[in-house]
Structure 1
């Protein structure tokens, strides 16, 4: 990894050349680099945390003055319980995954001596633009190296001290391995972003990680394919037969485990027949943890009989159901048993498909058929049954770590791990075979599928 101030085209050319070399390395070579990366970050923990503390101090002042959101501040702090260790473990988890490169997914004998294979291969050069989240540097370096991709990283100004410290450590570690140092480059200056986004002949994929404004800026200013999501507007539907214990555990965890995360719950849809049974139990647990409930008229009325802390029960407005709060705020809406959209589950699906950002949605029910209908009908990257939205995470999916979350409907969706950073190519082996022999009828196709 190198910290560079070169021009955009020179950075992109360096990455492109490095990607060609990376694609030829063995899995052992790439794994050795990840071991070196992990060990160097572990040995330099104190140095990196000191640098991160300087970033956090400046960011705290900015948050207090209203110049920085508190959600970004939370994402910035590497000293948060277990965060640094999770970063280190993520590198080892990626290292220990199967090699994603060179896997044959199709093998066809076109004719005697003419063999076609479809083989997984790296995408090439990745441009990752992120805000806060200094651990992203290590996560992406590990994923890029393991998947044989070169990566160009641009961090936000709020994490400058952290990513400079991390980049120096990673650069020293990689220089002692077979991985080209130019495989992972960090750029500091903000002005260079627009120029990098113009390098569509050298950069193969852009991955923005940060605010809605960042993602939309990237999508509107490049011809390079973009993988990512602007919002994490996750919803849960509480069906009439929901198990109360399951409902409380799942919904409270989804909202309060880490409210600033993109996979935290933002909207709760409640079947009208659950308003006076399961919903009050859920609402009480949420408010006991400081969650402000913004309810429609019927949901608010259902809570009149329970003690509610001052200020935590409010009237909802339409925009609440389209808002990613990233805070201890939850919008609540009643779903009628029947209506213009059909049954309650159909109405819940219709609401989610209209308002959701297509990240992750949950249904709480004891009925498999209802759950299956919901999971088939909701058009999101993740659809869960009786499980918290917080499981939508690369580490928790067993991907080692993730480069981001994709709500796209091409190539890859959900947490993007190694498989999402690979594509495929077709390899054909012949022995002087000519296409004209088949068009003229001299030879006939076999098209015989072979075992992988």
Structure 2
């Protein structure tokens, strides 16, 4: 990794050149680089966490003065909830995955001595623009190296100490490997994002990791394809047949395990008959965990006689805007729906196509929900927090995509690959094929992989 203050153009040109080398390295060389990165970060743990603590101190002061959101501060903390351990584990998990480069996915005999194959290959040069999340550097570096992609990283000023510390360690580790120095670059020059977003002749994909404002800005100001999501507005539909305890456990985890995460649930849709049975159990458990419920009139009325006055006093009235809000905090909007069709309609109209779930004992309703909801992740009786590359077995992720093309959901190695077609022939020309006398016809014979 190069910690560079080069111009955006110079960084992009170096990355493009390095990508051609990296894409041809054997899997053993790329795996050796990940082993070196893991060892270097493990040894430098105390120094990196100390740097992160300095970033956190500045960020908390900024948050106290209203200059930074609490959710961003939470994402900055590298020592929180096993984040450091997960980061290191992700490097080895990625290393141990099957090599994604050069896999044959199609073989067709066009004619005798004329064979077509389709093989996987890297995208090329990735530009990752991120806020706060210092672990992104290790995640991206690991996935990029393993997948044969070069990567340019540009972090926000709130995580400067952390990403400089991490990058310095990764750079030193890669110096001992066959991975070109320019293959992974951290740009330290300030105010260069507009210039980077203009370099579509060198950069092949932009991956934003940060606030809604950041993602929307990037999507509106570049010709380069963008992989990511602007919002994480996830919903859970509580259907009348769901087990109350299971529902409470799933919703509690979805909301409280990491409220600032993009896969945290923000809207709870409750079927009318469940208001008198499952919902009070769920609501009581949520309030006990410090969650503020913003309820519509029906769901609020259902709790009036079910909860103690102290708990009922913590329920707020919901407004229309609450069902379009990504709170990223211990606040949950609650809405009553008649049934499955209304729940699906609400999610498709108000959700962000990230991750949504149904809690039900009916397989038929669950399957209908999962086929009808237009989201990257649709779950039955499982926490929305499952939307994660590590939990999916991808090792780690470069981000979560709600795109309709290329890749959706948590994006790991597979999402960083495209493919090329190769033909091996013996001098064949198109003029020899067609209809009529003396012309040949293509065989189009599918061959085993």
Relative to the length of structure 2, the TM-score reads 0.98
Which of 326, 331, 334 matches 1:332?
A: 334
Aligned-partner SS, 1:161: helix
Which of 343, 346, 356 matches 2:351?
A: 356
Question: Is 1:378 matched with 2:380?
Answer: no
Instruction: String of CA shifts for 1:377-412, please: whole Å, max 9, x gaps.
Output: 000000000000000000000000000000001000
Aligned partners of 1:32 and 1:311: how far apart in 2? Answer: 58
Deviation for aligned residue 1:443: 1.9
Structure 2 residue aligned with 1:121: 121
Structure 1 residue aligned with 2:400: 405
Deviation for aligned residue 1:312: 2.4
Structure 1 residue aligned with 2:318: 316
Aligned partners of 2:421 and 2:96: how far apart in 1? Answer: 27
Q: Conserved in 2, the CA contact under 8 Å of 1:381 and 1:414?
A: yes
Deviation for aligned residue 1:189: 2.7
Aligned-partner SS, 2:300: helix
Which of 409, 418, 426 matches 2:421?
A: 426
Q: Conserved in 2, the CA contact under 8 Å of 1:143 and 1:417?
A: yes
Structure 2 residue aligned with 1:27: 27
Q: Conserved in 1, the CA contact under 8 Å of 2:128 and 2:206?
A: yes
Task: Give ranges in structure 1 of 5+ residues lacking alignment.
Answer: 337-343
Aligned partners of 1:310 and 1:133: how far apart in 2? Answer: 37
Aligned partners of 2:268 and 2:166: how far apart in 1? Answer: 39
Aligned partners of 1:301 and 1:243: how far apart in 2? Answer: 22
Question: Is 1:444 matched with 2:438?
Answer: no
Aligned-partner SS, 2:322: helix
Aligned partners of 2:192 and 2:38: how far apart in 1? Answer: 29
Aligned partners of 2:443 and 2:23: how far apart in 1? Answer: 32
Deviation for aligned residue 1:442: 2.6
Structure 2 residue aligned with 1:61: 61
Aligned-partner SS, 2:25: coil
Which of 340, 349, 360 matches 1:345?
A: 340
Aligned partners of 1:334 and 1:72: how far apart in 2? Answer: 31
Question: Is 1:274 matched with 2:274?
Answer: yes
Aligned partners of 1:220 and 1:270: how far apart in 2? Answer: 36
Aligned partners of 1:48 and 1:61: how far apart in 2? Answer: 20
Q: Conserved in 2, the CA contact under 8 Å of 1:292 and 1:311?
A: no
Aligned partners of 2:312 and 2:277: how far apart in 1? Answer: 23
Aligned partners of 1:62 and 1:380: how far apart in 2? Answer: 35
Deviation for aligned residue 1:37: 0.4
Q: Conserved in 1, the CA contact under 8 Å of 2:304 and 2:312?
A: no
Q: How many residues align?
A: 445
Structure 1 residue aligned with 2:409: 414
Structure 1 residue aligned with 2:235: 235
Structure 2 residue aligned with 1:200: 200
Aligned partners of 2:319 and 2:287: how far apart in 1? Answer: 19
Deviation for aligned residue 1:310: 7.0
Spell out the pairing of 1:11-22 with structure 2 (5 A cutoff): 11-22=11-22
Spell out the pairing of 1:18-97 with structure 2 (5 A cutoff): 18-97=18-97
Spell out the pairing of 1:125-274 with structure 2 (5 A cutoff): 125-274=125-274
Aligned-partner SS, 1:353: helix
Residues 311, 304 of structure 1: alpha-carbon distance in 2 compared, 3 angstrom cutoff: closer
Relative to the length of structure 1, the TM-score reads 0.97
Aligned partners of 2:325 and 2:98: how far apart in 1? Answer: 39
Instruction: String of CA shifts for 1:25-71, please: whole Å, max 9, x gaps.
Output: 00000000000000000000011111111000000111111111111
